[in-house]
Copies of this chain bind each other. A is one copy, B any other.
Amino acid sequence: MYSPTIESLIEQFAQLPGIGRKSAERIAFYVLDNMTEADAEMMASTISLAKKSVKFCEICQNLTDISPCHICTSNKRDRSVVCVVEEPKDVSAIEKTGQYNGLYHVLHGAISPIDDISPDDIKIKELLLRLSDGEINEVIMATNPTVNGTATAVYIQRLLKPMGVKVTRIAHGIPMGSDIEYADEMTLSKALEARTEMK
């Protein structure tokens, strides 16, 4: 259908998450037909440069330009609390709330026997290493409330127990602004179970 160069450009975009064949065609034609050569060149070099310069923070394992990252080196953050998340984008989701002032630890995945992802494949030993100096006294498990995320939280909690560090789990319940009628049974059970007294 398309010439080889156009086809390979479409394929490059089609491999990205959330982009199907149709969207990839649309994007490829946008690049070829609507962008200036300078803009396309800028896009290509940004991808190349970002991939080369962005690395994992040696402390929290989040993606960063400089290691240790600006959160790990900040003296305005509470260094006694670490929030453990699965992915870098979870860090930005929590940062956007403006409600959390501690540190983070990015696991880069969750334990998943089906996908052959064992505890050694995610950044758990890096977390243990951080706890060894005794500066951290609470670890908040903010992995996803999925089978794998929950299993990972429980696995880490058991590892940390003998170290005497407090391990907490973010609350699960009815999302704000949503309708109880449409909540699934699991969420509703969790919400009832974790009810708090109104004062």
> Could you list which residues of chain A lie within 8 angstroms of chain B, going by C-beta atoms?
1-6, 8-9, 12, 16-19, 23, 25-33, 35, 37, 40-54, 63-66, 69-70, 87-89, 92, 95-96, 108
Contacts and interface: CB of A to CB of B under 8 A. Distances in A.
10 contacts: A3-B70, A5-B53, A6-B63, A12-B43, A16-B31, A17-B26, A17-B27, A43-B47, A44-B51, A45-B48
Contacts of A17: 26-27, 30
The count of identical subunits is 2
A47 B47 CA distance: 10
A96 to B, nearest CB: 7
Contact of A64 (B3, B65, B66, B70): B3
Contact of A51 (B31, B46, B66): B31
